[in-house]
Structure 1
Amino acid sequence: MRSIIQQITDLYDQLVRRMRIFFQRTSLPGFSGIPLYDVWKFFLNEIRRDVLPLRSAAISFNFLLAIFPGIIFLFTLIPYIPVRDLNVTILDMFNQVLPESGFEFLSETINDIVSIKRGGLLSFGFVLAFYFSTNGVRMIMLAFNKEHPIYNRRGFWRRRVASVRLTLYLFLLFMASVLLIIAGDHVMERIQSQSGLKDATWYWIFNIIKWFFLIMLFFVTISMIYYYGPAVRVRRRFITPGGSFATFSSIIASIGFGYFVNNFGMYNQVYGSIGTLIVLMLWLNLNALVLLVGFEINNSIDVNHVLRMKEKEKAGE
C-alpha cells in the first residue's frame, strides 16, 4: 500500500516538474518573450498584495453614483438630437450587457425622461454625471498605482486632468459607437431588402455582426483605459494580453451573472425594488474586478520585461 502511495507521489512530483519546465520555456504572443511561469508567479504576488476586491468595490461604488446622473444627461439630450430611434438603440445596447432586472429598472426611468424635453435636467445631469464619472475614472487610476520603477507618480491635479481627459475619450467613443450602430442598422435594412434573404437567415447574420461589434466596443474601451489610465514612464502598446483577457472575461462574466440572476437569484423577492440596485452594484463590482485582473496581467508582463532588459544590460557591461 505504501509503495503505491509513493509511486503516485513520485508521478505527481514528476508531472509538476515537467509542467514547470514547460511553462518556464513557453511564452505567448504579446508577452514580450516573458515565460508564462514568470508572469504567473509575479501575478500571484501582486494579487495577494494589492487586495483587488477592496479596490474593485471602490471603483464600482463611484461608477454606481455616476450611472443615474449619466442616464439623466444622456437621455434628456436625446429629444434634442434629430436621429430616429436613438433611444431604442441605446436601450438595446444596455439590454445586451445588463442583467434583466437591472435593465428593467433603468428602462422605466429612461422612458420617462425621453418622453418629455427637460432643459433643467440636462444641465443638472451633465454636472453630476461628469463629476461622478471622473471620480470613477480617478479611482481606476488610483487602483493602477504601483511602486515599480516603470510607473510615475501623478499629483492630485495631474490625476484629475488625466481622469477628465479619459472620461471625455470614453464618452466620445460611446457616442460614436451609437451612431455607427444606427448607421449600420440602416445599411443592413437596405441590404436585406435587396438581397432577398429569409428573415431567419438575416436574423442570425444581424446578431453575429451585432455581437462582433459589441465585443470590439468592449475591447477598445478596456484597451483605452489600460492605455491612458496607468502613470507609466513609457506608454505600452494599445493592444495587450490583459485587454484581450478582460474583454472576453467581462462579456462571459456579464452573461453568466445575468443568467444566474434571471434564473436563480431571488433579490427582488427578498429585498423588493432595492434588490435591483444590489444586482447592479454586484455587476459593476464583478466587471471592476475583471478590469483590475487584466491590468495585473499587463503589469506582470511589463515589469518582468523591464527586469529582463536590465539583466541583459548588466550582463553586457
Structure 2
Amino acid sequence: MTKLAFLARVFKNVWLQIDERNLSLIAAGVGFFAMLAVFPGLAAVIALWGLVSDPAVVSGQMELMRPLLPPDVFELIKEQVDGLIGQGRSTLGWATVVSVGFALWSARAGISAMMRGMNEIYRIRNRSSLHHYTAALVMTAGLVGVSLVALAAIVVVPVVLNFIYLDVTTASYINTLRWVAAMGALLAGLGIIYRFGPNRRGERPTMIVPGAVLSVTIWGAVSAAFSAYLTNFGNYNEVYGSIGAMIALLVWLYLSAFLILLGAALNAEIERQNCGGDGERQKP
C-alpha cells in the first residue's frame, strides 16, 4: 500500500469514527465540565498568586492571551479576573480553599469524560468505578502540574525579567523561549491524555505525536476562525442576551475538546492500520 493510500484510509476511518464513537456528544460533556472548572480555576490562580505577589500582575499579563482566544471569550475571562483582583486579600484567601476544591472536582469530571471517550476510540471497555475515579484524579493532578508550568512560562517569566537587566537581544530570545515552553507544556498535556487516558492492558499507546500535532494545529486555526466569526458575523448577545459571552466560551471549549478527541482518533487509527486490523474491544 502506498503512503498516500495509507493516509487516505486512515483519515476516512477517522471521519467514520466521529459518528460511530459519538465523539461530538462526548466533547459536549467535556466542554460542560471544563466550563465549570474555568472560573473556580481562575479564582484559585488569583488567590494563590495574591499570597506571594500583586494579583494585578496576572491581569496585565493576560493581554498576551488575547490573540489566542475569541474576543468575547477573552473579555469574559478578563472581566472575571479583574473582579477577583478587586476583592480583598481575606476574601481571596477563602476563595483559595473553595475554588481549588471545586475546580479540581470539575476538572476531574471533565478528564473522566475524556477518558471514556478515549476508551470508545480505542474500542476498550471502561474501568471499574473506583479504578476510573482514581485514574482520573491522578491524570488531573498531572495536567494541573503541566498547566502550572505553562502559566509560569507566560506570567511569571516576564515579572522576573522586570527585575533583571538584559540586553534587547537576550530579552527577545527569552520571550521567544517562554512561548516555546508554553507550547511544549501544551503538547506534554496532550501526551499525558493520549498515553494514559485509554484503559489499555499492558503496553500504553505509543502513537501520540500525530494526534497531538493535528489537534494543536487545527485548534489554532479553529480558534482564529471562531474569533473572526464572532468579530464579523456572530453576535451571541443578540440571541442569548447577557449570557452570550458564556455561550461563546462553552462553544470554544466544546470545539477544543472535540479536537483533542479527534487527535486521539487519528493516533488510534494509525496504530490500528499499522497492526493490520480493525481491532476488537478489550476487557479491562
Category of TM-score, reference length = shorter chain: 0.7 to 0.9
Alpha-carbon shift at residue 258 of structure 1 (Å): 1.3
AA paired with 1:25?
T
Confirm whether residue 145 of structure 1 aligns to residue 119 of structure 2: yes
CA displacement 1:140-169 (0-9 Å, x = unmatched): 0011113867x4641111111111111111
1:180 alignment partner, one of 153, 156, 162: 153
Query: Would you say the 8 A contact 1:224–1:238 is kept in 2?
Result: no
- Higher RCO structure, 1 or 2 (CA under 8 Å, sep 6+): 2
Equivalent residue, structure 1, for 2:282 = none
1:87-113 CA distance string (max 9 Å, x none): 146624543432111111121221221
Q: Does the 8 A contact of 1:105 with 1:276 survive in 2? A: yes
Q: Are positions 1:248 and 2:221 aligned together? A: no
Q: Is the 8 A contact 2:47 2:95 kept in 1?
A: yes
Write the distance in 2 (CA, Å) between the matches of 1:104 and 1:147.
35
Question: Within 1, Cα distance between the matches of 2:153 and 2:241?
Answer: 38
2:199 paired residue number: 231
Cα gap change, 1:186/1:306 in structure 2, threshold over 3 Å: closer, same or farther? same
Structure with the greater alpha carbon radius of gyration: 1
Matched, 1:159 2:126: no
The structural deviation recorded for 1:306 is: 3.0
1:192 deviates by 8.2
**SS at the partner of 1:272?**
helix
For residue 58 of structure 1, what is the aligned residue in structure 2?
29
Q: Equivalents in 1 of 2:52, 2:164: separation in Å?
A: 26
Distance of aligned partners of 1:278 and 1:181 in 2 relative to their CA distance in 1, 3 Å threshold: closer
Residue from 183, 188, 198 that aligns with 1:220: 188
- What secondary structure, in the 3-state scheme, does the structure 2 residue paired with 1:160 have? helix
| 1:171 aligned partner, one-letter code | V
Say which is worse superposed, 230-239 or 269-278, in terms of deviation. 230-239
TM-score w.r.t. structure 2 length?
Answer: 0.83
**Please, which runs of 5 or more residues in structure 2 have no aligned partner?**
280-284
- What value does the CA root-mean-square deviation take over the aligned residues? 3.1
Contact 1:90 1:178 in 2 (8 A): no
Secondary structure of the 1:276 match is: helix
Matches within 5 A, 1:294-309: 294-307=263-276
Match status 1:136 vs 2:136: no
Pair 194,206 (structure 1): closer, same or farther in 2 beyond 3 Å: closer
Alignment CA distance shift 1:263-1:212 (3 Å): farther
- State the percentage of identical aligned residues: 24
- The alignment covers a number of residue pairs equal to 275
> Relative to 1, partners in 2 of residues 1:183 and 1:61: Cα closer, same or farther, differing over 3 Å?
closer
**Deviation sequence 1:218-255 (CA, Å, 0-9, x none):** 32222221122111221123742111100111111112
1:193 Cα deviation after fit: 4.7
Give the Å deviation of 1:48: 3.1
Provide the C-alpha distance between the structure 1 equivalents of 2:165 and 2:60, rounded to a whole number of angstroms: 19
Shift of 1:189: 6.2
Aligned residue number for residue 26 of structure 1: 3
State the partner residue of 1:4: none
Rounded Cα–Cα distance in structure 1 between residues aligned with 2:168 and 2:62: 28
Secondary structure, counterpart of 2:119 in structure 1: coil
> Are the structure 2 counterparts of residues 90 and 288 from structure 1 closer, same or farther at C-alpha, using a change threshold of 3 Å?
farther
In 2, Cα distance between the equivalents of 1:238 and 1:37?
18
Change (3 A) 1:94 1:83: same
Is the 1:89–1:178 contact (alpha carbons within 8 Å) kept by the matching residues of 2? no
Q: Post-superposition shift, 1:303? A: 2.0
Bigger shift: residues 118-127 or 93-102 = 93-102
Q: TM-score, normalised by structure 1?
A: 0.75
* C-alpha contact (below 8 Å) 2:43/2:84 kept by paired residues: yes
Give the residue type in structure 1 aligned to 2:272: V
How far has the Cα of 1:196 moved from its partner? 7.3
Compared CA separation, residues 37 and 106, structure 1 to 2 (3 A)? closer
> C-alpha offsets along residues 171-208 of structure 1, whole Å, 9 cap, x if unaligned?
111112222335543676689852479xxxx88x7875
| Distance change >3 Å, CA 178–CA 41, structure 1 → 2 | closer
Q: Corresponding residue for 1:46?
A: 17
The C-alpha deviation readout for 1:52-98, integer Å capped at 9, x for no partner, is 22111111111111112212222122210247865146624543432
Q: Which residue of 2 aligns with 1:10?
A: none
